[in-house]
Structure 1
Amino acid sequence: MLVPLQNTWWDETIGENFNQPMGHTLNTLRFPENTTDRQISRLSFIEKQRLALILELSYTAQAFLQDGPSVNMETDTTSKIEA
């Protein structure tokens, strides 16, 4: 699975893009409970980038190819992703 730096979202809200509930992972990366109801168009670049990583984790794949998965992210967020 390829997760590019500039990711593409197919549906209007965050929750519509996930194939399974990801509440715990959303909370770990500092997203509030109502995140799945938010519109993609209202997100910052960094929020979209963090969500793309969560979206990647919601799928089962043999390998993940990432183009700068944590570029421009805060150090503590990068540490949580790498853990």
Structure 2
Amino acid sequence: MQIEIRLFAYLRELLPLESRGVKKIQVKNDLTIDDLMDEIGISEKEIMIVMINGIRKLDYNESMKEGDRVAIFPPVGGG
């Protein structure tokens, strides 16, 4: 199945520069958020917010569906 991932802040560096942090990828059916983070190479401690189709998800064992848009935000700091 195909999903779209959107990475924000420094996580964008995990995708090719020309993708601008957005990429459609093929993944296996019943892939969970946790599985996706493993495939991308992101540890759970690097994540602050995960949204699927604009809805925040707290359960990373939830499976995704064809066409889902997954947004992943790291903790941000400033000063």
Answer whether TM exceeds 0.5 for this pair. no
Q: Under a length normalisation based on structure 1, what TM-score does the superposition of the two structures give? A: 0.37
Normalised to the residue count of structure 2, the TM-score between the two structures is 0.38
